[in-house]
Amino acid sequence: MLTPWLQVDGAEARLRRWSDATGLDLIRLGTTAEADEIKDTAVTQPLVVALSLLAFDELRNRVSLPDDAPVAGHSVGELAAAAMAGALSSDDAVALAATRGAEMAAACALEPTGMSAVLGGDPDEVLARLDELGLDAANRNGAGQIVAAGPLSALAELTSEPKVRAKVVALKVAGAFHTRFMAPAEAALRERAKEIQVSDPTRPLLSNADGARVESGTELLERLIAQVTLPVRWDSCMATLGELGTTATVELPPAGTLTGLVKRDLKGTNTVALREPGDLDKVADVVAGQGGAA
C-alpha cells in the first residue's frame, strides 16, 4: 500500500512521526507486513487514514483543486475527510484512527459478531429480514448493497435462509462495526476526543450519518464519535453528491470500492481511483476537463 508513496517528499518523515504517536510501525505495516497482520482493524484504520492523507497532500501539491469541491469518507475514511476539509489536523486524524481501531478491535473480542454484504433484492424486504433476525443494517452503500451486522448465529441464518432475492456474502471483518456492539469503543473514543482541537470545515464535508454537509467543527467531532455505533449511509452521501451536481470524483488510496459504487449509482460521473502517484496525472486531466472533483 505505502511503497509507491514513500517516494513522495516528506512522506517517510510524516509516517515516522505518526508511528511514534500511535505506537505502530506504519512504514513496515504498509510495505512488508503480511496480509493477516494488516487485516487487524487496530492496524488497518490508522494505516488507511495515513495513506489517504499522504496522497491528498501530494494531490493538492500537484493539482489545483476547486475550493468548493466536497469531500466525504466511508467509515474510518471520514476521519481523513475531516482533515482534508481543515477540521482536524492530520496528526489528530491519524491518532484518532489508531484509538478508534484499537477500541473497536477490543469491542469485537467481547462477543462473536460479524458482517455480511447483502447484494441486490428489494431494500425494504432486506431491511425487514434483518430486523426479523435481530441484525442491523450497518452500511447502506447504495448500488443495491446493504451490509448486515450482528451475532454470527443470526448471520449464519441469513446466509442459509435469506428469504429475499439477494446474494449474501460473509465479510472478513473482526465484528459488527457500526452497531450497538461497538458501544465500548464509542465511549473510549469520546474520552480521547476531549484532547482534540477541532475547527469548522473550510471545504464542504459530507457526513456518513445522513449525507448532510457539516459546517460546525463541534458538531463534526460529535458525529465522528457517534459514527462508531451508527450505520454508514454512503447512499446518502452519494445522493448529496448528485444533488450538488458532481461531475467527477477522485477516490484516495486504497482506492477502488467507492469508485465502483459511484459508477453504479451516479451514472455518467467521471471517476478516478487514485492508487499510486502515477495516477495523479489522471486527476489533473479530470479536473481540467470537468471543472471540479469531489
138: three-class secondary structure by DSSP: strand
Domain with CATH 3.30.70.250 in the chain: 113-170
Q: Which CATH class is domain 3-108+180-290?
A: alpha beta
Domain with CATH 3.40.366.10 in the chain: 3-108+180-290
2 and 58 Cβ atoms separated by less than 8 Å: no
How confident is the model over 51-60, as pLDDT tens digits? Answer: 999 999 999 9
Q: Identify the H or E element spanning 251.
A: strand 248-251
CB atoms within 10 A of CB 198: 19
- Quick one: pLDDT at residue 65? 86
The residue from 19, 52, 90, 178 that is catalytic is: 178
Q: Which CATH class is domain 113-170?
A: alpha beta
Rounded Cα–Cα distance for residues 292 and 247 (Å): 7
Cell of residue 142, nine digits? 447504495
How confident is the model over 56-98, as pLDDT tens digits? Answer: 999 999 888 888 899 999 999 999 999 999 999 999 999 999 9
- Quick one: pLDDT at residue 157? 97
The residue from 75, 116, 207, 236 that is catalytic is: 75
β-bridge mates for residue 115, sequence order: 149
- Quick one: pLDDT at residue 290? 58
Q: Is 279 exposed, middle or buried (0-12, 13-18, 19+ CB in 10 A)?
A: middle
Q: In the annotation, is 74 catalytic? A: no
- Quick one: pLDDT at residue 170? 96
Q: In the annotation, is 178 catalytic? A: yes
Residue ranges of the chain with per-residue pLDDT less than 70: 290-294
